[in-house]
Amino acid sequence: MSKVVMHCHDLCRTFVEGALEVNVLRDLEISIHAGESVAIVGASGSGKSTLLHLLAGLDRPDAGIIEIDGESINQMGDRSLARLRNRHMGFVYQMHHLLPEFTALENVAIPKMIGGASREQAEEAAMVLLERLGLKERATHRPGELSGGERQRVAVCRALVMNPDVVLADEPTGNLDPETAQDVFQLMREVNAEFGVALVLVTHDKGLAFSMQTGYQLLEGKVVKEWGDGVGASFDG
Ligand SMILES: Nc1ncnc2c1ncn2[C@@H]1O[C@H](COP(=O)(O)OP(=O)(O)OP(=O)(O)O)[C@@H](O)[C@H]1O
Ligand SMILES: [Mg+2]
């Protein structure tokens, strides 16, 4: 059985809006295994982004335990958490969130420099990924000079530059036309298979979701497994 890279249980998150309490996540449990590809689907407002933010340590739960690589992050201070996130996780959002004043190469290199690498090492690693994702000719362009699909591919490179155990992607292709979305998604799947990076994908696109090994639906604050036996399943459809 492959290693569990991310696990949470009894996870609760409630938002208070005036007099209204919204129990978005209620005793949720999920495990992500090394190299696994996971889709999380569910209605708008069901809590998918909330779950991803908690797993990433970008938000704190009201109750429950979150373990990254076997280590509980609940009691971790912000600095340790930032370090752990930098080492183990990559993110791709619906909006690319690239830094506008930096080139594609610099945007991809920055997490690596934050992780302690020299500028030279970081840019070398960044260039390898940009080439791999067909962006060699775009390395010196700023985000404003790139197409939507190119920006999202740069964002995928940035998510991968630290060789993370897991990439969390929240509607990564939501702003792209269907064809470009398919290209970006295909690259993410290749990276998942090739580098053994676990991929957790939130998407409204059923076609994309079904090409992941495991699928969960977020329903009434919990995840319900819809397909896949999780570990080691290979996708051949
Ligand atoms: N910071 C916040 N403060 C108050 N309520 C919030 C906050 N973040 C999320 N919510 C509420 O929690 C619920 C779940 O939101 P979330 O963004 O996780 O849904 P989602 O499944 O990602 O939806 P979508 O598919 O539209 O992106 C929603 O009702 C939302 O209004
Ligand atoms: Mg969302």
Lookup: tokens for 49: 């982004």
Cβ of 24 below 6 Å from ligand 1: yes
Cβ of 48 below 6 Å from ligand 1: yes
The closest residue, in CA terms, to atom 16 on ligand 1 is 47
Please give the distance, rounded to the nearest whole angstrom, from the Cα atom of residue 236 to the centre of ligand 2: 28
3-state SS of 79-108 is HHHHHHHHHHEEEECCCCCCCCCCCHHHHH
Kindly state the average pLDDT of the residues 156-169.
94
Give the predicted TM-score (pTM) of the model.
0.92
Residue 234, pLDDT > 90, answer no
The tens digit of pLDDT for each residue in 49-82 reads 999 999 999 999 999 999 998 999 999 999 999 9
pLDDT band at residue 187, thresholds of 50, 70 and 90? confident
Q: What pLDDT is attached to residue 235?
A: 39
Start-end of H helices in the chain: 48-55, 78-88, 104-114, 119-132, 148-160, 178-195, 206-210
Residue 231, pLDDT > 80, answer no
Please give the distance, rounded to the nearest whole angstrom, from the Cα atom of residue 100 to the centre of ligand 1: 27
Which CATH class name applies to 4-227?
alpha beta
Please tell me the distance from the alpha carbon of residue 156 to that of residue 137, in angstroms, as a whole number: 16
| Strand pairing report for 89-92 and 4-17 | unpaired
Q: Which atom of ligand 1 is nearest to the CA of 51?
A: 18
